[in-house]
Amino acid sequence: MTPVPSAFLRCFRRPGGLPRTTTALISGRALDSLRAVASPPPETLLIGSHGAEAWLGAGSSELTLDEDQRELLAEVRHVLEEIVQQAPGTLLEDKPAGVVLHTRLAADDVAEDAVAAARSVLENRKGVFLKAGNRVLETSVVHASKGEGVSFLRQATGATAVVFAGDDTTDEDALDQLVHGDVGVKVGLDFTQAEFRVGAR
């Protein structure tokens, strides 16, 4: 688990001190993992698991799955466990509503085969939602996206404008929800629909 650089945290905290400004973190990480790596200020709003989890302060309700979703999630994990056993360097990460197939440590051909195998079984499975990231394949039994997270926060806070910055493939879902007057920033060199770009360090 890689902690967020302290320089980022210092920059992130500055806007929170401005009048009528709310800061939020929108992440593919589960909320517990996000808190552990980011150590956000207590007033920071949090969206985790690609929009499936939300924390707007004390009293926020936790994500709960119904019985059908829990059974489906167990089936998904079983499928991915069998794939990982045959794919050296891959591993699984459990989230409240899904399981992530990580392939960063696997050889390129092994990673591609593992993702293809997972897709072949799960892509058309009713109630299972797949999302490709940087060397990961996200599976979830809850339909959610970072774009939905942006829209939810805009409505919840009454924001008149949004500034969003992100470096992951899945951040394009959030950038897609920006409207006139918002600002989108891509971190890194990959394709983006963001208006602005900064280099990754």
Q: Is 139 exposed, middle or buried (0-12, 13-18, 19+ CB in 10 A)?
A: buried
**CATH 3.40.50 fits domain 67-140:** no
* pTM of the predicted model as reported, rounded to 2 decimal places: 0.85
CATH 3.40.50.1000 in the chain is located at 6-62+145-198
Q: In the structure, what pLDDT confidence band is assigned to residue 2 with cuts at 50, 70 and 90?
A: low
- In this structure, how many other beta carbons lie within 10 angstroms of the beta carbon of residue 32? 11
**6-62+145-198, what's its fold?**
Rossmann fold (3.40.50)
Which stretch of 86-90, 146-150, 189-193 has the lowest confidence by average pLDDT?
Answer: 189-193
Residue 5: its pLDDT value, please? Answer: 64
Q: What is the pLDDT of residues 151-162, one digit of tens each?
A: 999 999 999 999
Residue 126: its pLDDT value, please? Answer: 97
Amino acid at position 31, single letter: L
